[in-house]
Structure 1
């Protein structure tokens, strides 16, 4: 099971990363702006729940690697740390360059928008790599049941992503206008997420 401090630390990191401007949350905002709050919520909930597929892949992949070789799992953590550092550097380099688009103006139903969000997240290979790099950083081998820890962390991430994306969809009009009036917010969130990525990656080098 997860310890309280472990869960809170992971949740804080997950919330920051979910709110950082990126393809998923900007598509949620764009859909809400173009189609209305119900459409934004449907698309956002689909995006959030799409994380469950990545959780399953991470649990199966990491568990198989650990069963094959604890040394290989240690290598995965190191590679994951390097990947997170690289993502952090990129976030600093390209802070504020992701723009809010025009949204989905098609006549898709709410169910279709939900499925579209679910599929868009589930088939994104970058999200798969992110989960493989991010989740193991919060696993504590001493607590045992590593696969269970990974699964629970993934569920926590999915729950907060679905909630926040749903809220973004509901308030898309207000949030979009607020971001437009405050162009400095996006770069700041990017740099905050970049610092978090780099910190998580470098943590592997500490004793």
Structure 2
């Protein structure tokens, strides 16, 4: 029962329209849902590394270090600004006939760039670190067995919740892509995504 409760809470947190979810939706619009779903693996790898750190006892130490969180935060802000600006610049750089459904700011020819972006955005978000170090341990009780094993199990459940939430945003992006929007509409969606990522970067920069 406690795992069901944890999954429900984790899914609600994962459904927050943050940078990774917006990025996943953008990837689905530009590359298709299948490629975007593959890109989600980058986010899951970053989360898995954080879970491993918590299980090893390094997570709380990292969360208590103001310097470490500050470095992570500003690295994340810088990367989100880079992505947001790159998407916005791309919408003005291409002519009306050049911005096709498969166009992308990196002219992606493989899945690796999508995976890398998802990984870096997740790894550069101190919120993800705090979720692993503050939210997840609240569901750990010594009576249930070894703490490290519980953290690993809860972490696996959280990864499932993150995958489910990310899939929802990817499917939304896939639906938008299937509409076959006009070039102007595609530009507007890209500009909206770019501005949203800059907005998330601003909120992250202003957070304490």
Q: TM-score, normalised by structure 2?
A: 0.59
Q: Are the equivalent residues in 1 in contact too, given 2:73–2:205 (CA < 8 A)?
A: yes
Structure 2 residue aligned with 1:18, among 17, 20, 23? 20
Q: Are the equivalent residues in 2 in contact too, given 1:53–1:122 (CA < 8 A)?
A: no
Alignment gaps of 5+ in structure 2: 92-98, 104-108, 141-149
2:79 and 2:60 map into 1 onto residues whose CA distance is 29
CA RMSD of aligned residues (A): 4.1
Q: CA deviation at 1:189?
A: 0.6
1:90 and 1:52 map into 2 onto residues whose CA distance is 18
SS at structure 1 position matched to 2:124:
helix
Between the two proteins, the alignment pairs up a number of residues equal to 176
Q: Which residue of 2 aligns with 1:143?
A: 139
1:157–1:125: structure 2 CA closer, same or farther, 3 Å change rule? closer
2:78 and 2:158 map into 1 onto residues whose CA distance is 25
Q: Are the equivalent residues in 2 in contact too, given 1:55–1:154 (CA < 8 A)?
A: yes
Alignment gaps of 5+ in structure 1: 32-39, 105-112, 203-207
Q: CA deviation at 1:180?
A: 1.4
Q: Which residue of 1 aligns with 2:161?
A: 156
Deviations 1:149-197 (A, max 9, x none): 4433333222221222233133213397534146752343123311342
2:155 and 2:65 map into 1 onto residues whose CA distance is 14
Q: TM-score, normalised by structure 1?
A: 0.59
